[in-house]
Structure 1
Amino acid sequence: MSAKFSKAYLLAGTVLMSAVAAPAFAQEDAQSASIASGEFTGGENTGGAIVVTGSRIQRKDLTSTSPVAVVQAEEFELSGAVNVEQVINTLPQVLPGVTGFSNNPGNGAVTLNLRNLGSTRTLVLVNGRRWMFYDTNQVVDLNTIPQFLISGVDVVTGGASAVYGSDAVAGVVNFRLREVDGIEMGATYSLTERGDGARYSANVAVGSDFADNRGNVTLFANYTRRKPVFQGARDFSKTAAGDGCIVPGSTNPATEIGTPFPSGITVSTCASRGGEVGFVPQGSATGPIGTITLGTSSFIFNPTGGGVRPFQDPADLYNFAPANYLQLPQERYLIGAYGGYEITDGIEFYSELSYVNNRVAQELAPTPTGVTANLQIASPFFDAATRTRLQQQDAAESNVATRGDGYATTPVQYRFLSAGARNQEATRQAFRVLGGFRGAITPAINYDLFYSYARTSNTQIQRGNVSRSRYINALQTSFSSTGALQCMDASARAAGCVPINVFGSGLADPAAVRYVQVNSTNLEQSDLQNIVASISGSLFNLGLGADDVGFAFGGEYRKMSSRYIPDTFLASGDVLGFNAGQPTGGAYDVKEAFAELRVPVIEDNVIHSLSLNGAARYSDYSLAAVGGNWTYTGGVDFAPIRDIRFRAQYARAVRAPNVQDLFGGQSTGFPAATDPCSDRGSAATRTQTLRDLCIANGVPAANVFTRAVQPNSQIQGFFGGNPNVRQETSDTYTAGVVFSPTFIPRLNITADYFDIKVEDTIGTRYGGLATALSLCFNTVQNLASPICQPFIGKRGATGALGETAGGQNPIFIQDNVGFLETSGVDVQVDYNLPVGPGRVSFFYLGTYLDKYRSTPIAVLPERENIGEGTFGLPKYRHTSRLTYSQGPVQVSGRWRFEGKTQDGRINNVFNGLTRIGTDPALLPKPYLGAISYFDLSFGADVNENLSFTAGVNNLLDKQPPVLGAAAEQANTLPSYYDVLGRDFFVSAKLKF
């Protein structure tokens, strides 16, 4: 390296020493890489010791009693990844959380969901330390992690709260960043076979030692751009689909499964019993524009306006799919630095700095509006035939005061195509700064002290919202003294109200559209402060050939705070288009003391090795409902001979409630639910007892068991936090074997069993709106019961919950309500051997799921194997890679396998507390077959400075299954299945 280059980095390092630093990492040999991974903690006195993820004790080997799956940096390169999620979400232990394909629902972030226990129960670390979170749920956005600097990723199964504190319930995922020596520049470009969805990323990193190798510094920057793909660009998603399996008009209660359409029937589309069937396409992207409900029937307006005709299923349904994103657009700027400087012997200062600006947009179809309004019968918007129908509606009104007044009170549905699509642009700016000191107290004892501060600020700009009150004002008209049509309400007229004609296609006055349309800006800010001080080292030796007894102890302080500031318009609840919400704000802290002990008992003395380990942590939360609690773990590692090793561990972990759980402001949600008082519930439950209960709850007798009680498949509710929520607790048992036969060099096989139980899971009280409705009206059938209280006084004039005139939304808050349990076996294999002039390497990581059980409320039966949408998790998943390398060239293939699964409704439909299940023959797609994705890549080192990688993912262009009403979005599970199709990439890296 030139003197000029060294001086430049000496200057850069000196300037950055107040803000940046990093550890170095040990090289892992092939024999150990599949067993665990380690961080080289740096400093002269470590003697080459490492720290395995899941422990704070330095050691000379990579053994761990915790199951640890390791993803090497090459996996990111060979898959053409520009974001962390593209590799992490392919691991069989991970069920994708929110991803770049999560449009609705979605929030622009990318989250990690280990073991399908939830993103809030997965602890994400970078270099062994907590990373910044982005929202009131205190979840990490993987977009903030620099993928191109990753040296490896360690996935630790099960509770690790004794070592790392709260949230490590499902496990820990540690992203290890590498040092850079010199200058590295790289770029990646990806494009689908269909010529869309372009993704490109460019990055640069520079690093060097300085001050006679007493310091080092790495600086980096990245720019990433991802272009959108709309659902209309793929055959499987271009038409929104519903499903059903009964003959129109059927009254057979056993077959009431599928999508009920506005006319009140369910359309038959089953081509065969028990499986592969077609789905009902939903209309077109241009209609219907407006519908009204007269009596118990739905009518749509002619496109030219004025007249109505009965709603026709399914041709009149609006096809919202083409206007929705399949792949979300993204633009990200990421910069940072890390480094360290040895001030004097035994004192090293280190620091890290990271900043990210990430912008992700979501796009939805134009706002669907559903309100109840008093329509003026004499309005010029209606023809004579329609006026006659409205007069009949007016004459039949139950309210005597308004009966025959020339106005018909009726639900009105309208799709605001004239206002354009709804879109939300989320801009996330985040920074994290860390500084610390570490070094050796004695040759055998080290210390480490650091402080980190992170802040994430989110700005959400929403366009396409509609004001509910303004919309109703514009619908309710009268004639002025001159005979002109005007808004009925004088104050609304003064505010610019213009009558709106939604009773046809493109008839709304632009001035009326501008009056009802409202944009909004919402703000969110999250902060994390973390102080950790620890002392670790070795104590003594038991004299049986093993390493010294190791220990670590210390203290930690964390303060978490978040706040969500919705636009005044959203906070008012006067919104159609996006969900309303009240402000959220709160903070809490925790003081902790922890200790860890590792006892190597024997090595190469009678047996090959035996070691024990244990850890404990006491946490004192500022939250009265949580207070103080203990977490702890204990494990054993036993190798009777060198070739085989057994390991087992037990861990107690906790998840403390987050700011959203505790202080979440009341927000509006629209969960899918069935009101037993409507005609959507099973006919078998429509007893006289239920009828009397519905009437007592406020449903008009004439409307019981009719569509008027529930006009939509979703029911609006209010949801919020609860400051009295307690912590969740979990127990994890793991047991495994590591086989590294000396007679087959370079072969490593691990198999680990895991069993995780989480109790007192935090969720919506009474299991949420849908569960509470079923329990109250079908099981408890007592309005005095606490489970019925959310529905007392919440029904409107027609008996509907929430949205109708006079109705109020049921309120549900957070509580400790249920439990989760999962178990299974992970298997990992890696092997490499010389073949001719080159070398072949093989890697395999698979998971067999033994069970996954959950319940949203403890009094209910367990739900078995619930995954994404209505479908369960596959029993078996794996990812494997086979690579041949010769000199500077390598060819690599990857096989991603997703096992078969089935619709969760087969085993998880209940009548109250009784499991009744569902006949698979009644479901449009009861089973999903196994699916395989094959990827191919080619890499070449042109010279010692320049290398290229190119490849294709989803080589066979495997398309995702179409799931109809059981889909999460886009007619399928877009975060789980590959939705882009055959996808090409090319990347280049330059080093000097």
Structure 2
Amino acid sequence: MKMIKTRPPVHDRLRQTASPLALSLAAGMMLAGPALAQQADAGKTELIEEIVVTGSLIQRPNNVAVSPITTVSTESIKESGQVEVEAALNQLPSFTAAGTASTGGQGGGGRASLNLRGLGSNRNLVLLNGKRLPLSDINGNVDINILPEAIIGSVDVITGGASAIYGSDAMSGVVNFKTIQPFDGVRADVQFGQDERGDVFKKSASVTLGSAFAEDKGHMMLTASYTDRPGLQGSKRSFFEFVTPSSFIGTGTYVPNAANLPTQAAINSVFAKYGVTSTVGRTLNLGFNNDGSLFVQTGALNYKGPTDNGYAIIAGNVRMPVGQQVQFQNSLERKTAFGSFDYEVAEGVTAYGQFMYVDSVVNTESGGSLTQIGNLTTIPTTNPFIPADLRTILASRPNPNAPFTWNGRYVGIADKNWDEQYKVSQFALGLKGDLAGSWKWDLYSSYDESLHDQALYNAVVKSKVQSLLNAADGGNSLCAGGFNPFGISNSTRISDACKTYMTKTALSTEKLTQTQVQGQLSGPVVELPAGPLQVALLTSYRRNTYRFTPDSDLAAQNIEAVTGSASARGNINLKEIAGQVDIPLISGAEFAEELAIGAAARYSDYSTTGSVKSYEGDMRWKPVDALMLRGSYQRAVRAPNIGELFSPPTGTQVQFGTPPASVGDPCDVRSIARTGTGGAQVRALCIAQGVPANVIDTYTFPTTATGGTIRGNLGLTPEKADTFNIGTVLTVPGDSPWYGGTTISVDYYNIKIKEVISGVPGLTTLSKCYNLDGSNPTYAATNEFCQLLTRDAQGQLQDVSLPFLNLGGLETDGIDVQINWSASLSDIGADVGDPSAEIYVTPVIGWVNHYNIQTLPGSAFQDYVNTSTLGRALPRWKALTTVGYRSDLFGVGLRWRYQGAMDDVTAVTTPTNPSRGVPAYNLFDLFGNVRVNESIELRAGVTNLFDRGLPIVASSQNSTDVAVYDAVGRSYYVGLRAKF
């Protein structure tokens, strides 16, 4: 739908307060006071423009919204200092960080996604001008990176279910990007950013051409833009110096087999030569010094290697901190082209269309490859590089000729990294017009295609490594020098020929397509005393297809430290009909300036899961002009997506940290599961699961994560949600220049999702199997969660099964509050000679009452509110406040981003022994803008003004969450916008 909006002059627009009929939160004011795109009543008219109505199929009087709608302008995004749209939106209390510049490691795609209310990025819809954008993955997510910032006029955020209006997936809300309006001329914008340490340099540039033609019957617009963001390694920040102390080290280590242990006498004799008088356990990993001698990794006995440049002795153990190797900010290079047109082909009939093409490359990196995940490589006793002292120990085993397992990190080969290239195109055509005067119709069709080409560089091929290790000459006949994994100096001196032999670039391809056809008809049916009764009818068809072709070695799990996946394909067809009605009941009466009700319903028929119904009812009441009360109830649905239905067994990582700071593998002797009150029962359970009895009392897990296997499920049924919101918006009456026109909005939301489609989280599986939350009081190995765990012959936790199932529920509720105050300087007696000058303060506050998770049907809900773990920070309080000065010519402001203190997630998963939580987090940003003349505007700012450092998140593998907290530090930006 379209509506006509009047726009007053600049200085009047800046002085307007947020309309109580459209906003519950003014995100634009949070980001930059002057940039709020407000939905105002009719006023002084200089320019008539057409905008897209969000949240309704019907043009309601005064564009009244019964669901809270936050509107953010492109100026707000610019003044946040970010070149990534999602980074600006994630500052809103209603958003939880999902896919960002700091996620997507291990070939995760590097996509930018949005997550409303923390309910998942696949439970909110992302639209462009009210229509669906191309999908970027099989889980139904939209990559915000595909949107060229230059075309964005504003962003509307609807918080609360909207399935009846927009269709499946809109359980937590809708994010609708609106393009800029047609214009004549040229617009150019450039922005440069630099962090204080000089290792992050972001830049973006765009140019947009607009023109009317055919005597103003037609309009066209073309945009091209470019964005470049570098990657940033953990080694560049001191925080990561000792983060994630991995036992996979460059020296390599011998891993004893519990079923074929060496004799104690042999170990004692070897270490006695080094002057070691303490007893070295037979089950401990032994590392290799450069002189051929051995050392004990756990305890660092006789260790002669480095303790810097990526190596460290932590708690007396030899480790390689992984945090230094990880790229915690992904690099991005994006090129976009966008075009749109409209043309009045006949009176009352307009043809329109648009195209979009995006070519973006995101690079993700996760450090050196490990001897990890899947079938491990082994070293035969015939290998010529085995040190003499190790041969002595191997010869004492019951089976002296058996090959042995080794742990190592391929320090002689460059870090594995992925180029994730996305080529996204969308083509759309439509016709719209008037019918019988006041009725509107719109026919629309589009096709989009997302091609994802993934290149994994420096992939270590297991079968090639095994051939080198098995060769009698150490592999010299296969490549010059062969492969010697014993000691740092040997591991780093791999010849170029052997590097080429051992590695490859693994190429995988993913293709998603989406075809849409939609028709809509709306208009008044009958004139009632309070206004017209209006209806809207919609019918649509959508088809999504998916095809994934992995590299053959990835599919065979033949790549070191990278989980693989089989090829897959699938498709979903959908037919829908929907209707909406708006009924005005009273207008202009005492205690009822306006009273109206509305309703909507949608019937959706999926080729995979059958039909579902969603519906909505709402009411709005203005007892007086200054006060509006609104509320709505919605039954929202989300059908299972392609990934949940068709995903083949796909490898992932289950991160559980290093005990005792984190849970780790509960069978690990350092874990709180072993040291707590149920330690004896956990010990017996671990033995029943396959940990050998002769190593159980010294068993340790060598790293911070293990493999997981995600599987699709064709037996899934749609999720169902009941969403409820009630709110009030007060515009303070009176003519006082100090408080007149101040708006205060308060909205309560309540979302309950049943039959949630999810894989059981790996940490939850471990907690429930080992009774860390009371789920397995008998410590039975037959427990359903214990059955999801697989251990190898030595007891090492090898795999956690993560099938998609209709499990329990998600419930959350809370309150959003905003106070929006401004005052004209001339009106309050502080005239500065500029009638447009004003000061403003805008606190925006989010408070979450509950965030309840029910893991399985019938199980108790657990409240995760005010807890933090990697990928899901759920603070009870989150606030954003801007204070500043603005005028037509100049503006300056200070933005305060606040996130309350949180407990670690272990306060819920292991309440008897939780890890330490996260303190309150405060960031301050300074921004300003100057209008040089009618054509040129300059902007500049400082983000993280006081250079706030990273807090520790105990349950995170990397000891923090760089998607939530700023790892870059104090940064500066400057930008210029020009119009000709």
> Normalised by the shorter chain, which TM-score bucket?
0.7 to 0.9
Contact 2:254 2:404 in 1 (8 A): no
C-alpha distance 877-789 of structure 1, shift in aligned 2 (>3 A): closer
Contact 1:25 1:178 in 2 (8 A): no
SS of 2:526 mapped into structure 1: coil
1:30-41 equivalences in 2 (<5 Å): 30-33=16-19, 35-36=21-22
- Structure 2 CA distance for aligned equivalents of residues 637 and 179 of structure 1: 30
SS of 1:316 mapped into structure 2: strand
Contact 1:23 1:339 in 2 (8 A): no
How far does residue 143 in structure 1 lie from its aligned partner after superposition?
A: 0.6
- State, as a whole percentage, how many aligned pairs show the same letter: 28
Residue number in structure 1 paired with 2:964: 976
Residue number in structure 2 paired with 1:672: 655
Contact 2:379 2:406 in 1 (8 A): no
Of residues 734, 739, 751, the one that matches 2:746 is 751
Of residues 941, 953, 956, the one that matches 1:951 is 941
The letter of the residue matching 1:720 is R
- Structure 2 CA distance for aligned equivalents of residues 485 and 936 of structure 1: 61
SS of 2:165 mapped into structure 1: helix
1:703-722 equivalences in 2 (<5 Å): 703-704=695-696, 706-707=698-699, 710-722=701-713
Of residues 790, 794, 809, the one that matches 1:798 is 794
- CA RMSD, aligned part only? 3.0
Contact 1:766 1:857 in 2 (8 A): no
- Structure 2 CA distance for aligned equivalents of residues 23 and 504 of structure 1: 72
SS of 1:74 mapped into structure 2: helix
Q: Residue 827 in 1 paired to residue 817 in 2? A: yes
Contact 1:22 1:339 in 2 (8 A): no
Contact 1:749 1:827 in 2 (8 A): yes
SS of 2:705 mapped into structure 1: coil
SS of 1:85 mapped into structure 2: helix
SS of 1:892 mapped into structure 2: strand
SS of 1:707 mapped into structure 2: coil
How far does residue 132 in structure 1 lie from its aligned partner after superposition?
A: 1.2
Contact 2:918 2:952 in 1 (8 A): no
Q: Deviations over 1:685-731 (max 9, x none)?
A: 768876666555555443445527x5544332322111111111111
Of residues 498, 503, 512, the one that matches 2:486 is 503
The letter of the residue matching 1:586 is G
Residue number in structure 2 paired with 1:880: 881
C-alpha distance 22-339 of structure 1, shift in aligned 2 (>3 A): farther
Q: Residue 176 in 1 paired to residue 178 in 2? A: yes
Residue number in structure 2 paired with 1:3: none
The letter of the residue matching 1:436 is G
C-alpha distance 59-468 of structure 1, shift in aligned 2 (>3 A): same
Contact 2:814 2:850 in 1 (8 A): yes
- Structure 1 CA distance for aligned equivalents of residues 69 and 823 of structure 2: 24
1:751-790 equivalences in 2 (<5 Å): 751-764=746-759, 770=766, 773-774=769-770, 778-779=776-777, 787=785, 789-790=787-788
Q: Deviations over 1:332-364 (max 9, x none)?
A: 101111121111122111111111111111122
Contact 1:599 1:612 in 2 (8 A): yes
1:485-634 equivalences in 2 (<5 Å): 500-508=483-491, 509-510=494-495, 511-543=497-529, 546-606=530-590, 607-623=592-608, 626-634=609-617
The letter of the residue matching 1:506 is S
Residue number in structure 1 paired with 2:413: 419
Of residues 329, 348, 370, the one that matches 1:346 is 348
Q: Deviations over 1:131-189 (max 9, x none)?
A: 11111112000111122332221111111000110110111111111124211111111
Contact 2:252 2:408 in 1 (8 A): yes
Q: Deviations over 1:463-494 (max 9, x none)?
A: 1222223323333454xxxxx5569xxxxx8x
How far does residue 512 in structure 1 lie from its aligned partner after superposition?
A: 4.1
Q: Deviations over 1:547-600 (max 9, x none)?
A: 311111121111111222111110111121322111221101111110101111
Q: Deviations over 1:771-799 (max 9, x none)?
A: 564379945755666555445xx544324
- Structure 1 CA distance for aligned equivalents of residues 377 and 156 of structure 2: 58
Q: Please, which moves more after superposition, 111-120 or 863-872?
A: 863-872
How far does residue 230 in structure 1 lie from its aligned partner after superposition?
A: 1.8
Of residues 934, 955, 959, the one that matches 1:966 is 955
The letter of the residue matching 2:646 is F
Residue number in structure 1 paired with 2:862: 863
Contact 1:729 1:758 in 2 (8 A): yes
Contact 1:766 1:817 in 2 (8 A): no
- Structure 2 CA distance for aligned equivalents of residues 742 and 51 of structure 1: 30
Contact 2:890 2:929 in 1 (8 A): yes
Residue number in structure 2 paired with 1:206: 209
Give the structure-1-normalised TM-score: 0.83
1:253-264 equivalences in 2 (<5 Å): none
Give the structure-2-normalised TM-score: 0.84
Q: Deviations over 1:56-101 (max 9, x none)?
A: 1013412211011222332123223322123111111111111112
SS of 1:526 mapped into structure 2: strand
Contact 1:39 1:52 in 2 (8 A): no
SS of 2:488 mapped into structure 1: coil
Contact 1:501 1:507 in 2 (8 A): yes
Q: Deviations over 1:197-235 (max 9, x none)?
A: 111111111112222222211111101111222222222
- Structure 2 CA distance for aligned equivalents of residues 435 and 195 of structure 1: 46
C-alpha distance 327-310 of structure 1, shift in aligned 2 (>3 A): closer
Residue number in structure 2 paired with 1:221: 224
1:297-312 equivalences in 2 (<5 Å): 297-305=284-292, 307-311=294-298, 312=300
C-alpha distance 880-711 of structure 1, shift in aligned 2 (>3 A): closer
SS of 1:682 mapped into structure 2: helix
C-alpha distance 676-902 of structure 1, shift in aligned 2 (>3 A): closer
- Structure 1 CA distance for aligned equivalents of residues 295 and 136 of structure 2: 49
Contact 1:103 1:324 in 2 (8 A): no
Point out where structure 1 has 5 or more consecutive residues left out of the alignment. 1-20, 41-46, 243-260, 263-282, 396-402, 479-483, 488-492, 803-808, 910-916
Residue number in structure 1 paired with 2:389: 385
Contact 2:733 2:740 in 1 (8 A): yes
The letter of the residue matching 1:64 is A
The letter of the residue matching 1:595 is G
Contact 2:52 2:130 in 1 (8 A): no
Contact 1:110 1:143 in 2 (8 A): yes
C-alpha distance 22-444 of structure 1, shift in aligned 2 (>3 A): closer
Residue number in structure 1 paired with 2:283: 296
Of residues 412, 431, 437, the one that matches 2:425 is 431
How far does residue 628 in structure 1 lie from its aligned partner after superposition?
A: 0.8
- Structure 1 CA distance for aligned equivalents of residues 944 and 816 of structure 2: 24
- Structure 2 CA distance for aligned equivalents of residues 874 and 688 of structure 1: 36
Residue number in structure 2 paired with 1:104: 105
- Structure 2 CA distance for aligned equivalents of residues 50 and 612 of structure 1: 24
How far does residue 49 in structure 1 lie from its aligned partner after superposition?
A: 8.6
- Structure 2 CA distance for aligned equivalents of residues 351 and 870 of structure 1: 38
Contact 2:20 2:731 in 1 (8 A): no
Q: Please, which moves more after superposition, 180-189 or 854-863?
A: 854-863
Residue number in structure 2 paired with 1:942: 932
SS of 2:856 mapped into structure 1: coil
Contact 1:498 1:515 in 2 (8 A): no
C-alpha distance 152-35 of structure 1, shift in aligned 2 (>3 A): farther
SS of 1:950 mapped into structure 2: strand
Residue number in structure 1 paired with 2:674: 682
Q: Residue 645 in 1 paired to residue 628 in 2? A: yes
Q: Residue 740 in 1 paired to residue 740 in 2? A: no
Contact 2:877 2:900 in 1 (8 A): yes
Of residues 597, 620, 645, the one that matches 1:662 is 645
Of residues 718, 721, 724, the one that matches 1:730 is 721
- Structure 2 CA distance for aligned equivalents of residues 580 and 769 of structure 1: 22
- Structure 2 CA distance for aligned equivalents of residues 973 and 230 of structure 1: 15
Number of corresponding residues: 879
How far does residue 660 in structure 1 lie from its aligned partner after superposition?
A: 0.8
How far does residue 377 in structure 1 lie from its aligned partner after superposition?
A: 4.1
1:78-227 equivalences in 2 (<5 Å): 78-104=79-105, 106-181=108-183, 182-227=185-230
SS of 1:475 mapped into structure 2: helix
